[in-house]
Amino acid sequence: MDSRPALLLFARAPEPGRVKTRLSPALSPAEASALYGAFLADASRLYGRDARWRPVLCADPEAHDPRLAALFPSPWERRDQGPGDLGERLRRAFEHAFAAGAPCAAAVGADHPTLPVRVLDEVLGALESTGAADAAIVPAEDGGYCAIGLTARRFSDVFRGVPWSTGGVLAATLERFRDAGLSFRILEAYYDVDRPEDLDRVRRDLAGRDPADGDFPAATAAFLAGLPLRLPRVTEGAP
């Protein structure tokens, strides 16, 4: 049994045509897959180095995929997400973490390479501190969420009936929290990198950061720096 909190990273194998498909036509399927591979490399390094939590890759479709095995060596544990919709897979991952001894766990996606590690600290801290909440969530700007944290002491299946892949995910999840009588904290919102216009946004974001910072997603920055300058530009004043 491991009494540390669990950090559950939900990710797919970086297969062309299966990941980041909405980045077309700005990126080819091979480029989109390579960019996603950079997201994973950064997540593995940044999320896997903190001994305060147990890092678990929740992989789709198979945890033993050699591409994922190469990206997520020890101390990462690798597990299959298993069948079902995202809600079923999230529920299963949390239940397994709690059965293994985690007092709380946070699930995070691999679509937001600029999400600071401190935010995950805040999620888990909200569940462990004095007067701790039963749940914590990091909203995504598109109406979903980047990360969600739950405790073993008040675990409830808050994933059932959520309209996944829509702008109503966050609102429905907060409603599930309330229905289950869970206290919760809503943290600062972050953005996913899903659409062509997000590419310029993340590039500008990284240009304003210090590469020497411990949170800097170096693999993502290096990949974007090597792309031809054909990424779509957002209009002035856009987020």
Does residue 127 contact residue 152 with C-beta atoms inside 8 Å?
Answer: no
Q: What is the pTM of this model?
A: 0.93
Asked if residue 145 has pLDDT above 90, the reply is yes
Burial readout 118-141 (b: 16 or more C-beta within 10 A, e: otherwise):
ebbebbbbbbeeeebbbbbbbbbe
Rg of the chain (C-alpha set): 17
Which sign, positive or negative, has the C-alpha torsion 180, 135, 3, 91?
A: positive
Q: Is the pLDDT of residue 239 over 50?
A: no
State whether residue 57 is helix, strand or coil. Answer: strand
Question: What is the signed CA dihedral for 18, 20, 26, 27, rounded to 10 degrees?
Answer: -50
Per DSSP, the residues of 141-184 read TTSSEEEEEEESTT---TTTT--TTSTTHHHHHHHHHHHTT--E
The token pair that represents 187 in the structure block: 């943290």
Least confident stretch, 14-23, 61-70, 220-229: 220-229
What integer is the mean pLDDT of 131-157? 96
| The predicted structure's pLDDT at residue 11 | 97
CA distances (Å), origin 13, targets 7, 22, 36? 18, 16, 9
Asked if the model's pLDDT at residue 63 lies above 90, the reply is yes
**pLDDT score, position 2:** 85
Domain 6-195 classification at class level: alpha beta
114 phi/psi in degrees, rounded to 5: -95, 5
- 111-134: average pLDDT: 93
CA distances 82 to 1, 18, 44, 157, Å, are 22, 17, 21, 17
